[in-house]
Amino acid sequence: MDELDTLMDLIRQKYEVEVVPLKIGDRTLRLLQLTDFEAYIERLVDSGGVGIMDLPFWAKVWDSSFLLAWFLGKQPVVPGRRLLEIGAGMGVVGLYAALCGHRVTLSDINEDALLFARANARLNGLTEMKILKLDWNDPSPFEPYDIVFGSEVIYDRKSYPLLVRFLRRAVAPDGMIFLAKNQGLHAPRFFEELTRYFEFKEKVQEVRSCGEAEKICLYAIRRKRSVPEESGVDSAACADGGGT
C-alpha cells in the first residue's frame, strides 16, 4: 500500500469523501473533499456540543481561495523564493501555486486538514511538497519566508494579535504577505493591529461561484519602513505590492 492509499484509508474512517476536478485559471486540480460539506456541518450542529469555532471550516473551498490562487499563479517564479501558506486547510491555494512552479510549504494546525492536504498534494503529483503542522503561538525559531499567504484566516477576533505577531516572525524583512477574505467579513480590529507594523494595499474583485457573485478583498502587505521601537522588527524597504 502506497502513502496515498494509507492517507485515503485514514480519511475515510472519519469522512465521506470524493475526488473532484477544480479548475483555476488554465489548470485543473484533483481535489479530495467532503462529499457534502453543508450536510456534514448540519449533522455536527444538530448533534450538539460543537461550538462554532470547532466546526471544520478548513474543509470548505472558499471563493477567496480561487482569487488568491489565481493571483499567485500569475506571479513570476523566482528561483529560491520560499512561499508559506497559513491556514491552508485542504491546500487549494498552495497546491495551485506549486503547480505553477512556486516553492510552497503548506501549513495548518488541524490534524485532519493536514491529512487532506497531504492526500491532495499526492493526488496532484506534488510528492515532494512540504506540509507541516504550524501553531502561530509556537515561539520556536524558523527561517522566515519570502511570501506568506492565506485565505479566510482572519475570522477569529481573539486571534488577531497572535496572527500579527506570527506574521512579523514569518515573513522576511523584504518579503510580502497576501491575504484574501470575503468583503462581507469585517475585521477592523485586525487591521488596527496589523497597521502598527505593516502597510497594505487592498483590491476588491468579484468572483462568481455557482452563478452567484461574491466580492473578495485581496490584500498586499509589507513591513512599514519605520515601526514602533518596542516591536523589535528591523525596518527595511519592501518589494512592490504584487500589482495590487
Work out the widest C-alpha separation in the chain, in whole angstroms.
Answer: 55
Q: What is the pLDDT of residue 51?
A: 61
Give residue 74's identity as a one-letter amino acid code.
K
Does residue 111 lie in a domain region?
Answer: yes
Asked, for residue 2, whether it belongs to a domain, the answer is no
Highest mean pLDDT among 42-51, 154-163, 193-202: 193-202
With bands split at pLDDT 50, 70 and 90, how would you rate the model's confidence at 46? confident
H helices present in the chain, as ranges:
3-12, 37-47, 63-74, 92-99, 111-123, 160-170, 188-194
123-138 b/e with 16+ CB inside 10 Å = b? bbebeebebeebebee
Q: Is the pLDDT of residue 215 over 60?
A: yes
* Chain-centre distance for alpha carbon 78: 20
Residue 10, in any domain of the structure: no
Question: pLDDT for 114-169, tens place per residue?
Answer: 999 999 999 999 999 999 999 999 988 889 999 999 999 998 889 999 999 999 99
Query: Which residues, at least 6 apart from 34, have a Cβ–Cβ distance to it below 8 Å?
Result: 15, 16, 17, 40, 59
What is residue 244's predicted lDDT score, i.e. its pLDDT? 28
Q: Find residue 208's DSSP bridge partners.
A: 213
- Domain extent for 74: 57-231
**Count of domains forming the chain:** 1
Residues 204 and 213: their CA atoms lie apart, in Å, by 12
Residue 42 lies in a domain: no
* Residue 33 belongs to a domain: no
Whether the pLDDT of residue 79 is over 80: the answer is yes
Grid cell for residue 92: 487549494
The reply to whether 16 falls in a domain is: no
> What are the phi and psi torsion angles at 157 (to 5°)?
-60, -35
Residue 197 located in a structural domain: yes
Q: How confident is the model at residue 50 (pLDDT cuts 50, 70, 90)?
A: low
Using only the alpha carbons of the chain, give its radius of gyration. Answer: 18
Q: What is the pLDDT of residue 211?
A: 64
- How big is the chain, counted in residues? 244
> Quick check: 149 and 170 in contact, CB under 8 A?
no
CATH value at residue 88: 3.40.50.150
Non-local (6+) Cβ contacts of 192 within 8 A are none
Whole-model pTM: value is 0.88
Summarize pLDDT for 80-111 with one digit per residue, the tens: 999 999 999 999 999 999 999 999 999 999 99
Predicted local confidence at residue 189, as pLDDT: 94
Residue pLDDT, tens place only, 169-178 = 999 999 999 9
DSSP 7: H
- DSSP for residue 136: T
- Segment among 1-15, 47-61, 129-143, 222-236 with least mean pLDDT: 222-236
More confident residue, 1 or 195: 195
In a domain, 173, yes or no: yes
Task: Categorize the per-residue pLDDT at 232 as very low, low, confident or very high, splitting at 50, 70 and 90.
Answer: very low
Kindly report, residue by residue over 156-171, the tens digit of the pLDDT. 889 999 999 999 999 9
Q: How far is residue 184's CA from residue 187's CA, in Å, rounded to a whole number?
A: 10
Site of grid cell 486571534? 159
Contact criterion met (CB below 8 Å) for 178 and 204: no
Helix, strand, or coil here: 63? Answer: helix
Q: pLDDT tens digits for 7-44?
A: 999 999 999 999 999 999 889 999 999 998 888 778 77
Structure confidence at residue 81 (pLDDT): 97
